Structure 1
Amino acid sequence: MMRDSVSSDFVMYDCAPPLSEITPPGQALPAKACDTHFHVFGPAAIFPYAADRPYTPPDAPFEQLLALHRKLGFERGVIVHPGCHGTDLSVTLDALRRGAGRYRAVVLLDADTDEARIAELDRLGVRGVRFNFVSHLANAGWEELSAIVPRIAPFGWHVCIHSDQASLGGLLPKLRTLPVPFVLDHMGRVAAAAGPSSEEFQAVLALRDHPRAWVKISGIDRTSSSGVRPFSDGEPLVAALLEAMSERLLWGTDWPHPNVRGEMPDDGELLNTFLRLCPDPLVRQRILVDNPHQLYRFAD
């Protein structure tokens, strides 16, 4: 329980803050390395949370994000607009402006958003629309996704899919029919206990044959069945993806890790796990630099 920065009332936060101290990266990252999945929360005194928010996190403002990226060595990033701010994009657009070209964004949109608004957001650095199909976060259904795809397609945007093991099987056949790229967050959130040979994860690996499918190596803690750092039970999923489809993989911290069920991840430890599992410098360059440059259209 913490004091609300807007008033003298106390607010009950249902998310823990990120770690204040993290493990330093074991190796330097390539130039223009990109963290493709993180959030900015508040500060609520300036950017209030939505009244109907699905969770209430402590502030994790842009300045705190910049400090993290300096420590880890990321020069670029992709802000994933969070559900706690709803479809009010003020916090994310402010971060894009302050990032001065270093950042891009994926956002939540109202179903009736028109092409003029999408064109404006594209100029500001937005590159996709996110849909949550995890039950406690669901912000829309397939009908809303289908309705907005024709409007984002002319701008080269993609749809970003937050699924879980329960929803993934029904989504993948539909996603394959889309005329725009799609990105699976957190490796589809297939449970690590199921393993890479499971039917669910084999369906994720089969996306290597679909030219518009991308997968984020992120949220290894969310796939972990133990919830205990360093979440090593999720490593076989990462290794299988690296072998199958490195040309369409992305990497992200998922900072500041809202709604964590187990131990709070250490972002430096997460990065070091990826660097250890991906020792080839050419593959690292592809995943950390080239792939995000292509999908999110960063300027050189």
Structure 2
Amino acid sequence: MSKFVMDANWLHWHQSPTKPSFVVPEGAVDAHCHVFGPGDQFGFAPERKYTPCDASKQQLWDLRDYLGFSRNVVVQATCHGADNSALVDALEASSGLARGVATIKEDISDAELDKLHAAGVRGVRFNFVKRLVDALPFDSLKRIADRIVTRDWHIVIYFESQDLPELYDFFTSLPTTLVVDHMGRPDVTKPVDGEDFALFLKFMAENKNVWSKVSCPERISVDGPSKEYQDVVPFARKVVESFPDRVLWGTDWPHPNMKSHIPDDGKLVNMIPLFAPTKELQHKLLVANPMRLYWSK
């Protein structure tokens, strides 16, 4: 297999994160993270938009233990395309402590879907971030959705807030549970009670099948790490308090495509009580909700 050379401007994941002062509840799940390669074992897709550093399953498990978590939900990274080999390898090596979200194509066989399910896959990801993927075939995505609904899988959707109006009707036509990555990346320079975020809150309020990850403040913040991403807190807290039974949290390790900085994973964990200020909300966010979505079937 050819050697992969990571992009010259790629930011490597944090090598010595802070030990978090916030102690997560027993059984907590990091519900959004990735594995990259290793490239000499699981090659990156020819159509990829980026070539990352390696980030192995064992390094992910080490971080999980260090931060105090018990389980992971590993989301297929776009650099691997629809080849889910690295994801499946991680799930099969996890002793049941990881579940997965795959990327699939319409022509996938039922036998391959069965194999993914047996490995621990419980959802598929549709990426609508235009700088990361080429034009999306909506009819094909709808046909994929119609196939996976019979397996009680869900769909993870990744989009940016300015694109929600044009995607709204398509999203509401999908028959499965939907899980939105990172609150749809709201514009935090605008008010939390403003028009833009109101559409996202309406999307969740009027569609009981829609969940949200309150993750990635480092991607959403304008203030940045020097102000500890405080401009994201009102948005995440609004979502958690409004929809406590349909929220998830994750590190997003190893933080693909960050341009300005790599966050300290321990400090991200310390933000959780700002998003979910009570023990009851924390338990739902970190334990009850992800267990219901990923381990109950």
Q: TM-score range by the shorter chain?
A: over 0.9
Report the CA distance between 1:110 and its aligned residue.
Answer: 1.2
Alpha-carbon contact 2:22-2:269 (below 8 Å) kept:
no
CA distance 1:270–1:10, change in 2 (3 Å)? closer
TM-score (norm 2): 0.93
Task: State the aligned residue count.
Answer: 294
How much does 1:144 deviate? 2.2
CA shift at 1:298, angstroms?
4.8
Unaligned runs of 5+ in 1: none
Partner of 2:102: 107
Deviation at 1:279, TM superposition (A): 2.7
Q: Distance in 2 between matches of 1:10 and 1:177?
A: 41
SS of 1:193's equivalent in the other structure is coil
TM superposition shift of 1:261: 2.9
Residue 215 of structure 1: aligned partner:
212
Q: TM-score, normalised by structure 1?
A: 0.92
Moved over 4 A (4+): none
Alpha carbons 2:272, 2:282 under 8 Å: kept: no
Counterpart for residue 164 of structure 1: 160
Q: Which of 40, 44, 47 lines up with 1:49 in the alignment?
A: 44
With 222-231 and 87-96 compared, the bigger mean Cα shift is at 222-231
CA RMSD across the alignment: 1.8
Choose which of 63, 74, 80 in structure 1 pairs with 2:75. Answer: 80
Match of 1:70 in 2: 65
Aligned letter for 1:153?
V
Whole-angstrom distance in 2 between the partners of 1:298 and 1:60: 28
Which structure 2 segments of 5+ residues have no match? none
The AA in structure 2 aligned to 1:52 is E
Amino acid at match of 1:216: K
2:223 to 220, 223, 226: 226
- In structure 1, distance between residues paired with 2:265 and 2:47: 29
Aligned to 1:148: 144
Q: Does 1:259 align with 2:254?
A: no
Equivalent position SS for 1:183 = strand
Cα deviation for residue 271 of structure 1 reads: 1.0
Alignment of 1:1-300 (within 5 A): 7=3, 11-138=6-133, 140-206=136-202, 207-229=204-226, 230-298=228-296
Q: Is the 8 A contact 2:29 2:73 kept in 1?
A: yes
Range moving further from structure 2, 242-251 or 227-236: 227-236
Q: Match for 1:212: what amino acid?
A: N
